[in-house]
Amino acid sequence: MEKNRKFESKVVSTACLAGKLLLLNGAETDRVEQSICHIVNYYGYIPESFVILTCIIVSLKNPDGEIISLVERVQGRGTNLGKVNKVDHLIKNIDNYSLDEFSNLLKEIEKEKSYSFLINIIGSCLGASFFTVLFNGGKNDFFVGFLGGAIIASICNIQKIFNMGLVYTNIICGLITSLFVIICFNFGLISDIKISLISILMIMVPGVPFINSIRDIFSGDLVTGLSRFSEVILVGCSLAIGSGIAVKLLNF
């Protein structure tokens, strides 16, 4: 009996870990719940799961009617679709692994480091600069966008160190980016402030959370969908506040 109880607890904790990895790295809640239930059901138990942005609840019912539950607090969210794909691939091939092997592979994915600062700064620079091309900017706009992407990446890296929070990070990004672009405009480096500023701020727009919020709402997960949508609105407003402060400071 004790051995069965330990196995059941292991199943619940492993399913919860898989769900947590998916949720932390940008998966929608519907996928997280289905993945958790798939894992628990694979081992012959009746699963139930409830997922919101900050919490995962998993339970199973064994053949004797006993219920084992686990509540996991989820702090922080990001976007790493590579990890989502790896976890999803493991779940689809769960019959190739024992429970311990499956759990260890999930822990390895959890320990994997995200992209380095160098990769992040290169991606931000290229993303911001090529947005200027999309908006019909010139060579100078491309150059300013490239530097602005480096500024955004640096601020986000500092935010990770000091854990400043979503709102403060976006206000600072909007403020410093706007100051930088306005200064470039005043020195005659660019002729249109809108192209460079919008191009740089576009890399801060939460596209994946917005899409996931719509998918969650359409799938019936109204609490999570509206929470994600509120987060998207909050990001947009905080960027606007930061830009507004910069405009006011320089009387632009």
Q: Determine the pLDDT at residue 39.
A: 93
> What average pLDDT does range 100-113 have in this prediction?
89
Burial of residue 231 (CB within 10 Å: 0-12, 13-18, 19+) is: middle
> Is residue 134 over pLDDT 80?
yes
Q: In 3D, which of 73, 22, 4, 13 has the Cα closest to residue 40?
A: 13
Q: Are 87 and 35 in contact (CB under 8 A)?
A: yes
Instruction: Find the distance separating the first CA and the last CA of the chain, reported in whole Å.
Output: 73
Q: Determine the pLDDT at residue 2.
A: 56
Provide the 3-class DSSP secondary structure of residue 106.
helix
> Is residue 109 over pLDDT 80?
yes
pLDDT band at 16; cut points 50, 70, 90: very high
d(CA 123, CA 143): 14
154-186 residue pLDDT tens: 888 887 777 777 788 889 988 999 999 998 888
Q: Determine the pLDDT at residue 252.
A: 61
pLDDT band at 3; cut points 50, 70, 90: low
pTM (two decimals): 0.79
* Domain ranges, ordered by start, for the chain: 2-111, 117-249
> Is residue 18 over pLDDT 70?
yes
183-231 residue pLDDT tens: 888 888 888 888 888 899 888 888 878 888 888 888 777 888 888 888 8
> Is residue 15 over pLDDT 90?
yes
